[in-house]
Amino acid sequence: MAPIEQSEQLEDAPVVEETLVEEVSIDGMCGVY
Amino acid sequence: MGAAGVEFDPGAPYRCSPQVSLRPEPFGALVYHFGTRKLSFLKTLPLVEVVKGLESHPDVHSAIEAAGVEEAQRPAYLRALAGLAASGTIEAR
């Protein structure tokens, strides 16, 4: 009954950005690259 | 975490940093910065085209246009490029 889903619908724009560039943390992956 | 406090100006000429290695991948490209040791993914092929084309264009806008990025997507591309500038992946020239 309670509309709890509404707060998740406001964040469309930042999601688009994330699909263009994703930074990956490689701390602790010494020697991989 | 940005490289410097320099503001991103899409009206200015940019280039991919010489400290960056760009490796083409099926999803876009893998970017490794030898100075900051940051690894990133460029997740669309047009974005890779833009980053590679920056050097041969007088400003960021024309590099975006040359890569065939749709008008509606350009603000998102500019934000993504601003992030790449902040991380030192691309730099003003």
Q: Which residues are registered as beta bridge partners of A1?
A: none
Interchain CB contacts (distance < 8 Å): A and B: 39
Written out in words, the top-level CATH class of the domain with range B14-92 is alpha beta
pLDDT tens-digit profile of A1-33? 555 555 455 455 555 455 899 988 766 656 555
pLDDT score of B2 more than 50:
no
Mean pLDDT score of chain A:
62
**Contact yes or no for B43 and A20 at CB 8 A:** yes
pLDDT tens-digit profile of B27-48? 999 999 999 888 999 999 999 9
- Residue spans of the domains in chain B: they are 14-92
- Quick one: pLDDT at residue A28? 60
Mean pLDDT for the stretch of residues B58-72: 96
**Contact yes or no for B41 and A17 at CB 8 A:** no
Q: What is the DSSP annotation of B26-72?
A: TTEEEEEETTTTEEEEE-SHHHHHHHHHGGGSSSHHHHHHHTT--GG
- Quick one: pLDDT at residue B52? 96
